Structure 1
C-alpha cells in the first residue's frame, strides 16, 4: 500500500444563488430546491459544479487498494479510513455526498422535528406556569430555511474537500463495475484490489396503486424542498419515517392522515405492542388520524402544482374513503440500489429490492474482492450508523486481512417521535417467542420516575429482556423523551457481555430518566437476593 497525496487541484465552479440555469440544473438533476444561499453552500460541498477529480492520472496511477462506490456514510467512512491507514483510496459519487442521511434523511428530518417540538412546547407552556398570549403561529418558510441552513452547516463533514484532505481521490459521476476488479467512471477505467459497494437505497414506490406513478407524490427525497405547508397530508406507510413526519407536520399545522396496512403499528417489524399503543395515542393527541387495516387503492391528480409555491391537489381513495390532499407522502419502505451498477459483470450476486448478498464479513458471496455496506446490502438494518459501522468492519477485513463479523454488531434503532421509541436486539416478548427464545422480562415504568414527572413526560417505560434464569441481556425497548440516548447504555452492556446485574449496580445520576434503565437491573437484583430463613 502507498500513501496518497493530492497532486492536482480540482477544478470547479460554484453554485450561485439566484442563477436561473443553475436552479434548473439543481432541481432537475439533483432534486434540490430552492437554490438559495444555504442550498448553494450545501451543493458546493457535496456536489460541486464541473468537478474534476484530484487524482494524478499518470500511467498506472488509477490502481487502488480500495474503491468505494457511493458517498453516504458507508462510502465516506470506508474511503476516508482507508486513506488514513495508508491505502490508495478512491470514492465515486453520482449524486450528493453525504447520501440520504445528510441530504434527505437524518439531518433535515431532525431539524424539522425540532421545530415541531417547539410548537408543542409553546402550546403546553401553561402547564409549566408560563403564559404565552395569542395564537401560536408557524412560519413554515422560516422553518424550512432553518432546516436548509443547519444542513449546510453540517455538510463540510461529508463534502469533497474534507474527503480529499483525508487523502482520497474523489470521482464525481456514475460508477459502474466492468469486471471482477474494474470500475468505470466518466469514461475512465479504475482498477481495484478491493471494492466497497455503498450505493444506498431509495423509497419503495408501490406500483400496484392505480394512478400513483403519474401523480405528484412526495418521498423523503423531495419532502424537504417544500416551501409551503401542505394544508392536508396523506402518508402511505406507518414506519419510522411516516410516524416522525406525521407528528411533525401535524404539529406544524397540516391535517395528517396515516394509512397503515396493519391493524397496529410495528406489526411487520415485530415491535412492542405497548410501545405502539403509547405512540399512536400521542400522535392522535397531536392531530394525526390513523386509518388502520387500510390500503391506498387509487390516486387521482386534480392539479399537478408547480413543485414550488403552488402545491398539487390529489384525490386519494383509501378502502371506502376518498381524501383530498396537497401532499401524498409515500413512506412504504426502502429498496436497495443495485440496478445498472454492473454487478453482473463483476460476478456479484444480488436480489432486486433486497440488495447485494454478503457473508458475515460483509463480503460478496460470489466475488471476494467486493464488499457491500448499508442500504444496498441484503439482510442488514437500514440505518446510517449501521452503514458507518459496516464500513469500519470492511476496512479492517479488506486491508488488515481481519475477520470482524456482522453478527457481532449490536445495533440500536430509534424513532424520533415524541416520546422517542428505541430498541436494540430482541425488543419484545412476541419477537422472542417467534425466534424460539425463552426470556425473562424486567420493566420499569416512567410513571414514578422523578425526572420524568418533573418534566411532565412520565408516559413510557424501559423494558429489558434477558435469557431465562440468567442476566444475559437479549434486547430492550424504551419509550421515553430521550429514549435514543438511554438505549446506548443497554447496547454497550450487550456488546461487552455485561449483564443486567451490572446495570443495576451502576450508579446513575439523580434525578434522570436513565434511572429507569437502572430500575430494570434493580428488579433483577431484588428478585435474586438471598433470603433469610
Structure 2
C-alpha cells in the first residue's frame, strides 16, 4: 500500500473540485485531485449543456409552428425526427465533455489520482485498493445525484432521471414527469414541444423556484396551456407491465386518473454523493443526510480541516456557485487554520423555459412583511414583446421601503435570462430604484417592461410615505 503525504486532497473533479484544486495550487499547496468516475462535470455531461441542446431543438420546432400570425406560412406538417434531435444533443454534449476532459488530463499526472476515496480517519484517505493519502486538509466536492423515491424504483429502466434522457437514441411517445422544479419544467416543456405527449405531476403546488403567489399562479397557467400540468397531485400507484408504466394519481380537485406512459422521468430532487466516503470512520458531525455539518460562510466542517463545496453541500446547486465555492474551499484548505468567509455574488436563478422564469436577490417568501413595496408589469401589452408575439409574462420587483434599494425580483416573461443579469448586477452594486431608473433604456426593447415595474415601485413608495 503506497501512502502519499499532501497538503490538500480534493475529492471530486467536477466544477467545484477543479476550482478547489486550482485555488489550492495557486496558494502554493501540494494538491491531489481524486476522481473515481469519468471526468467531465455534471453541467457538461447531464446538466446545463445537454438540457439546453434539447431545449434549443424544442424552440426551433415551436417557432416553426408559430409563423402564421406573422403572415409566414409553413405548408405541410412540421416533422420532428427524434433520432436526429438526439444525435445532435449527444454529439454536441460529447464535444463539451471533451473540452472538460482535456482540461483535466492536461493537469500534472502526479496530481491526479483515479479511484473512489474513503476516509480511514479524519485526515487519512484510501483511494482505490493500493493508495492512501494523508492530507493536512481535505475538500469534499463529490457533487450530487438524482434521487428516485421508493415508489418508482420497481419500474426498473422505465423510471429514468435527467441523466438518462441524454442517452436516448430516439424520443419516446409519452412521458410522465414527476416533479415541477427547474429540471422537470425545462425538460417537460422541451419534450412537449418536440411532440412527446407529456404530463407533469408536481406534489406541493410549486412551479419551478417561484415563491411569489401571483407569479407562481401565472406561470402555472402558462404551462397548463401547453401541456398537462398538475402542480399538486398525489401519485398513489406506479406499476409496470412490459414496457408500459401505469400511474394512478389524484389531482388537486380529487379526481382519480389512471394513465399509461413509456417512461416516468423522476425529478424529485438530488442527494449529496457521500455514500462512498465512509464518513462513519471520522469524528465529523453529520447532518440528517449524512453530510458533514459545516459553516456556510467558510465551508468548513466544524473545527476540522475539511471543507464542503459545490452540489455536495446542497446550498446552491448552480455551476457558478460551485466554482466560487470550490475556489473558496481550496483557498481555505491551503491556508488552514486561517480561513476566510466566502463572499457570495448576488443570487440569480434562471429556468430556461419559454417564457423564461427568473429570480434575483431575496425571494418574495423571505422578505419581511411591510418592509418592501412591489412594482409590477405585465408583458402581455409590452411593446417589443407584442411585436415578437412573445407577450406572455408577469414581473414583480421588490424595493426596500427604508433605503429604496432594489431587493429582489421574481417573474416569468420573454428574455428573462438577460434581464436577470441586469438585475443581479444592480443588486450587487447596491443600487436604489432611483439609480436604476437613471440608467439608459433603449426603445423598443423588452427591458422597457422592467422600467415600468421600477416606476410602479417608485409610485408605491410615494403612496407609502
TM-score by length of 1: 0.79
Look up the match of 1:191.
Answer: 134
Q: 1:301 aligns with which of 240, 261, 264?
A: 240
1:291 aligns with 2:230: yes
1:279 aligns with 2:219: yes
C-alpha separation in 1, matches of 2:415 and 2:291:
33
C-alpha separation in 1, matches of 2:199 and 2:7:
50
Question: What is the CA-CA distance between 1:409 and the residue it aligns to?
Answer: 3.9
Asked if structure 2 preserves the Cα contact closer than 8 Å seen for 1:449 and 1:516, the reply is: yes
Look up the match of 1:457.
Answer: 390
Deviation track 1:258-280 (CA, whole Å, cap 9, x = no partner) reads 112234535xx562223323333
C-alpha separation in 2, matches of 1:518 and 1:191:
57
C-alpha separation in 2, matches of 1:321 and 1:528:
48
Question: What is the CA-CA distance between 1:184 and the residue it aligns to?
Answer: 1.6
Look up the match of 1:34.
Answer: none
Question: What is the CA-CA distance between 1:356 and the residue it aligns to?
Answer: 3.2
Q: 2:173 aligns with which of 202, 220, 231?
A: 231
Look up the match of 2:422.
Answer: 489
Asked if structure 2 preserves the Cα contact closer than 8 Å seen for 1:426 and 1:476, the reply is: yes
C-alpha separation in 1, matches of 2:340 and 2:374:
31
Look up the match of 1:24.
Answer: none
Deviation track 1:168-223 (CA, whole Å, cap 9, x = no partner) reads 7222221112222222212201122222111111112212x276465631111212
Asked if structure 2 preserves the Cα contact closer than 8 Å seen for 1:177 and 1:184, the reply is: yes
1:387 aligns with 2:322: yes
1:398 aligns with 2:333: yes
Q: 1:110 aligns with which of 21, 43, 52?
A: 52
Q: 1:313 aligns with which of 224, 244, 254?
A: 244
C-alpha separation in 1, matches of 2:285 and 2:74:
60
Deviation track 1:333-358 (CA, whole Å, cap 9, x = no partner) reads 11122223022333333324373321
Deviation track 1:147-188 (CA, whole Å, cap 9, x = no partner) reads 1111122224421x3124355722222111222222221220
Cα 1:382/1:519, change in 2 over 3 Å: same
Cα 1:368/1:144, change in 2 over 3 Å: same
Kindly report which structure 2 residues correspond to 1:133-282, keeping only aligned pairs within 5 A, or say none.
133-159=75-101, 161-167=102-108, 169-186=111-128, 187-207=130-150, 209=151, 212=154, 214=156, 216-263=158-205, 265=207, 271-282=211-222
Deviation track 1:134-156 (CA, whole Å, cap 9, x = no partner) reads 10000111111111111122224
Q: Secondary structure at the match of 1:355?
A: coil
C-alpha separation in 1, matches of 2:161 and 2:262:
13
1:130 aligns with 2:72: yes
Q: Which runs of 5+ in 1 are unaligned?
A: 1-56, 304-311
Look up the match of 2:412.
Answer: 479
Q: 2:296 aligns with which of 346, 349, 360?
A: 360
Deviation track 1:302-337 (CA, whole Å, cap 9, x = no partner) reads 11xxxxxxxx32111213222111011111111122
Question: What is the CA-CA distance between 1:68 and the residue it aligns to?
Answer: 1.6
Q: Which runs of 5+ in 2 are unaligned?
A: 251-255
Asked if structure 2 preserves the Cα contact closer than 8 Å seen for 1:348 and 1:367, the reply is: no
Question: What is the CA-CA distance between 1:520 and the residue it aligns to?
Answer: 3.4
C-alpha separation in 2, matches of 1:346 and 1:512:
57
Question: What is the CA-CA distance between 1:457 and the residue it aligns to?
Answer: 1.2
Matched positions, count: 455
Question: What is the CA-CA distance between 1:237 and the residue it aligns to?
Answer: 1.1
Asked if structure 2 preserves the Cα contact closer than 8 Å seen for 1:211 and 1:300, the reply is: no
Cα 1:222/1:352, change in 2 over 3 Å: farther
TM-score by length of 2: 0.89
Ranked by relative contact order (alpha carbons within 8 Å, sequence separation 6 or more), the top structure is 2
Asked if structure 2 preserves the Cα contact closer than 8 Å seen for 1:448 and 1:458, the reply is: yes
C-alpha separation in 1, matches of 2:159 and 2:403:
50
C-alpha separation in 2, matches of 1:102 and 1:445:
35
Cα 1:362/1:240, change in 2 over 3 Å: same
Q: Secondary structure at the match of 1:351?
A: coil
C-alpha separation in 2, matches of 1:167 and 1:474:
45
Deviation track 1:466-501 (CA, whole Å, cap 9, x = no partner) reads 222332222111322221221122222222322222
Asked if structure 1 preserves the Cα contact closer than 8 Å seen for 2:374 and 2:457, the reply is: no
Asked if structure 1 preserves the Cα contact closer than 8 Å seen for 2:375 and 2:460, the reply is: no
Question: What is the CA-CA distance between 1:525 and the residue it aligns to?
Answer: 5.0
Asked if structure 2 preserves the Cα contact closer than 8 Å seen for 1:354 and 1:376, the reply is: no
Q: 2:351 aligns with which of 393, 408, 415?
A: 415
1:375 aligns with 2:311: yes
Q: Secondary structure at the match of 1:498?
A: coil
C-alpha separation in 1, matches of 2:334 and 2:409:
35
Report which stretch shifted further, 197-206 or 392-401: 392-401
